[in-house]
Structure 1
Amino acid sequence: MTADLIAFLRARLDEDEVVALAASPGPWRPDEEGDEVVAVDGITVAEGFALSGRQLRATVDHIARHDPARTLAEVEAKRKAVHFYEQAVHSLGASAPGAPPHDLMTGAANTARAILQALATTYADHPDYRDAWRP
């Protein structure tokens, strides 16, 4: 189950990275009027004209806040979390003098797996997501 979860997470992170790299470069920012999102190269990437007032500004701010640069940083952070999980499980599985009792190792591995499961809930709407992965 965990190997499938790791493969699922890696595939989604790869997809997120591809999309972020193909988008207009970040950082993005609201324009002076607060009704458009503009990329670092000056290209308008989103217009909020269909919205009004606070909702318009909040939506523009939200889009700008989640620009490709942030997405790439989140992809990297999540990849590190997956890597740290694999390292922890490997370390916990190694039998060494003075190693903690088995139930402590199991508890630590379960906690680390729960972190991966929590990360995967971001993609719960993906057709390959499994309900068994819910933390």
Structure 2
Amino acid sequence: MSKLWARREAWLSSRNARKQQTYDAAAVAAFVRDHVDRPAVERRRAYQRRVGVMDDLIQWMRVQLDEDERFARAATEGPWFLRDESIIGADGTEVVAGGRLGGEASVFESTADALHIVVHDPVRVLREVDAKRRLLYEFDRRANHVRRTELPATGGVWDDLLRMLALPYVDRPGYRDEWRPRPAGAGAGGETTRCGSDRRGG
């Protein structure tokens, strides 16, 4: 009986030693990651900040597109066209009535103003909303794939294009300056790059 007890105690002691070694190795690795390899830690934190910034932009853009769609669907059904000095909807409704032919002043400063309104009718707006939503889906999917495979990571060109897509909405509440595109020619870290055709000399 004493031999069996001794073997049991030896086995328990060996198992506890292995557990302690495993714990010590994990603790050392965590310490190195968090305290010794500071550049890697900073890259990871910067990566997480960038991902958060772009995820926020995607969510904000979805809200703006929902707003665009709401306005377009509430307007007179398109397509619109210009007749004399009036803008006419798909069902013949006068969206904007002109006045010059009736002896009154025109409601438009110029025909170009009227044409601009017609070109941006609800049909056009709804098509743009649909196209931009498709782009947002691709931005979210492809940029996140790039981020998962690169550290320090960005969404590459996808993040740049997303920033550009949001530019028309800079005057809307909630837009953040950090979402603005980098200046033309700036690299991922903000440094200025030059195309090969711009280089001087050999």
Partner of residue 92, structure 2: 42
Instruction: Describe the shift of the 1:47–1:106 C-alpha distance in structure 2 as closer, same or farther (beyond 3 A).
Output: farther
**Amino acid of the residue matched to residue 116 of structure 1?**
L
Q: Work out which of the two has the higher radius of gyration on C-alpha atoms and give 1 or 2.
A: 2
Counterparts of 1:17 and 1:110 in 2: how far apart (Å)?
29
Contact 2:146/2:156 (8 A) holds in 1:
no
Partner of residue 67, structure 1: 121
How big is the shift at 1:93? 4.2
Instruction: Describe the shift of the 1:41–1:9 C-alpha distance in structure 2 as closer, same or farther (beyond 3 A).
Output: same
Cα deviation per residue 1:65-103 (whole Å; 9 max; x = unaligned)? 1010110000000001110111112332455xxxxxx48
Counterparts of 2:148 and 2:173 in 1: how far apart (Å)?
35
Partner of residue 76, structure 1: 130
Q: Size of the alignment, in residue pairs?
A: 122
Counterparts of 1:121 and 1:42 in 2: how far apart (Å)?
35
Runs of 4+ off more than 6 Å: none
Partner of residue 16, structure 1: 68
How big is the shift at 1:51? 3.3
Partner of residue 140, structure 2: 86
**Amino acid of the residue matched to residue 63 of structure 1?**
I
Q: Which structure would you say has the larger RCO, counting Cα contacts within 8 Å and 6 or more residues apart?
A: 1
**Amino acid of the residue matched to residue 5 of structure 1?**
L
Instruction: Name the % identity.
Output: 36
Counterparts of 1:47 and 1:81 in 2: how far apart (Å)?
37
Structure 2 residue matching 1:62: 3-state secondary structure: helix
Counterparts of 1:87 and 1:7 in 2: how far apart (Å)?
14
Contact 2:88/2:96 (8 A) holds in 1:
yes
Unaligned runs of at least 5 residues, structure 2:
1-52, 99-105, 182-202
Structure 2 residue matching 1:30: 3-state secondary structure: strand
How big is the shift at 1:60? 1.0
**Amino acid of the residue matched to residue 130 of structure 1?**
R
Unaligned runs of at least 5 residues, structure 1:
96-101
TM-score normalised over the length of structure 2: 0.56
How big is the shift at 1:28? 0.5
Cα deviation per residue 1:1-38 (whole Å; 9 max; x = unaligned)? 1111011100000000011111111100001x1x1111
